[in-house]
């Protein structure tokens, strides 16, 4: 499969802690994206990292990409209860993106 696969499947942390989610994929990519989904809602685009980039920041989010290992990580710093959601990585494949099964993050207040 060319999908991204997230790890862990579920993560539970205390508010204020950092959360790290990983994504592995199998093919060459042009870019990789991370999305958030609250229960029963649509997906919200968080960040896009191009294949020639190694790290990108957006607010409390930090994304890394290692194309040699075909992996990416999403770090959420100083987590808040409102960060509770499922997080998906999406890898591009000829102008469309394939999603993994997601990491379910629970941030306890």
Partner 1 sequence: DTGVSQDPRHKITKRGQNVTFRCDPISEHNRLYWYRQTLGQGPEFLTYFQNEAQLEKSRLLSDRFSAERPKGSFSTLEIQRTEQGDSAMYLCASSLGGILYGYTFGSGTRLTVV
Chain centroid to CA 40: 18
Q: Does 108 bind partner 1 (CB under 8 A)?
A: no
d(CA 28, CA 30): 7
Q: Could you tell me which stretch among 11-19, 62-70, 71-79, 90-98 binds partner 1 (CB under 8 A)?
A: 90-98
Taking the least distance from each CB to partner 1, the nearer of 10 and 78 is 10
Task: Encode 82-94: b = buried (16+ Cβ within 10 Å), e = exposed.
Answer: ebbbbbbbbbbee
Site for partner 1 in 20-59 (CB under 8 A): 30-31, 33, 35, 40-45, 48, 50
Instruction: Give the interface with partner 1 as residue ranges (CB under 8 A).
Output: 3, 30-31, 33, 35, 40-45, 48, 50, 88, 92, 94-102
């Amino acid at each position: 499969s060319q999908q991204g696969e997230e790890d862990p499947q579920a993560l539970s942390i205390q508010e204020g802690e950092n959360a790290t989610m990983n994504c592995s994929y199998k093919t060459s990519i042009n870019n990789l994206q991370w999305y958030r989904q609250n229960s029963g809602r649509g997906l919200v685009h968080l960040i896009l990292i191009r294949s020639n980039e190694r790290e990108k920041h957006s607010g409390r989010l930090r994304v890394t990409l290692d194309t040699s290992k075909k992996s990416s990580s999403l770090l959420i710093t100083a987590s808040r209860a409102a960060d509770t959601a499922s997080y998906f990585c999406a890898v591009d494949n000829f102008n469309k993106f394939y999603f993994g099964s997601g990491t379910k993050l629970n941030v306890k207040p």
